Structure 1
């Protein structure tokens, strides 16, 4: 007979996997100006991030993703120094004389800590070739809480000509051990949503 498989630990693991996989599959909040119907062709990408290296990675990844759709984009670090505060004045100065029709800004809106309870595990004491494996598992069956951080990100798009907010999205993600994973996930969600709203269109 095979050893009984504990249900609750599996449920716990599945809960974390679902949270990790689905955290940014859809916006937590989205708004758009329904009166605006023009698609954007050349976008300035701004990551309002304190660390300049992560800012560059985010902006470069976003530009590269848009280029695969033949949509022009420019990372802000090419036009703005990392010491500049993102404001209407600094952005206007950066895009003056540039053929940019939209400004996309992503920033960290907030961080909250959450936890999932891991109940004690229990195993069937069947013996066989699984004996060593089961014995190892039985040595660590205490209950504990798994803590993790949930990041709320906000991405806004402004019409460069009027400075008007055209579209806004908030999304939540579990903080990954590898920051690039979050960057790629957030960019994919943003582009997918913008395409669905007709604000960017892949070109031949």
Structure 2
């Protein structure tokens, strides 16, 4: 198993989520998710499905990577798989390194390892305004009815902002027994406007693909 000390691009994911949180302004957001996942590298699969899986999120932002790991753990647990987050097993200030990852794999008897990182992201915010006019007719008994004998028009303006996001995650799958890389996945989630939606949809895509490949 060979992957370097984890200091990659989950800090970009933090920026991405911050943009999402601040760009959803007034109005309702109604977006449909366009989801996909592809296998770009494929090696011979093990003869048995994983029974214990370790999740590793790459990046300098430990809190964000830990949140992603927790979401993956929750998703894989629904398939009846014993799943662990690397950051939940380490001390608070410990960094995720090759050596302590190996230690966890050996101590727990891990047979599958998922290593994920942000591969690409794009955020577009579109703002739309709608204007409406209403005619107000004053009552004849009003004091100023002679000033507005024909009534007057009032204009209302409503603003609606829609955030369209595209997130691509790379997930490498390793054998905990041999350390060999088994496959590489790219999962794409589009039109998500909430951070929790990005995590949940990405985790579901990855888990469902692994299930379809017979690894879960």
Relative to the length of structure 2, the TM-score reads 0.61
Residue 78 of structure 1: CA displacement?
2.6
Residue 153 of structure 1: CA displacement?
1.0
2:194 equivalent to 1:184: no
Deviations 1:155-200 (A, max 9, x none): 1111112221112111223474421111110111111100111111
Residue 32 of structure 1: CA displacement?
4.4
Residue 30 of structure 1: CA displacement?
1.4
> Which of 50, 53, 56 lines up with 1:40 in the alignment?
50
2:124 equivalent to 1:110: no
Provide the C-alpha distance between the structure 1 equivalents of 2:186 and 2:52, rounded to a whole number of angstroms: 23
**Equivalence for 2:102:** 92
Structure 2 SS opposite 1:100: coil
Larger Rg: 2
> Which of 83, 86, 94 lines up with 1:73 in the alignment?
83
Residue 87 of structure 1: CA displacement?
4.2
Q: Which structure has more helix as a fraction of its residues?
A: 1
Contact 1:175 1:182 in 2 (8 A): no
Provide the C-alpha distance between the structure 2 equivalents of 1:151 and 1:81, rounded to a whole number of angstroms: 30
RMSD over aligned CA atoms reads: 3.7
**Equivalence for 2:39:** 30
Q: Which structure has more strand as a fraction of its residues?
A: 2
Residue 17 of structure 1: CA displacement?
3.0
Residue 109 of structure 1: CA displacement?
1.8
| Residues 98-177 of structure 1: pairs in structure 2 closer than 5 A | 98-113=108-123, 148-174=164-190, 176-177=192-193
**Equivalence for 1:198:** 214
> Which of 69, 73, 80 lines up with 1:63 in the alignment?
73
Unaligned runs of 5+ in 1: 1-15, 124-134
Change (3 A) 1:165 1:93: same
Deviations 1:64-119 (A, max 9, x none): 2222222111111132346555443331133232211111111112333557798x
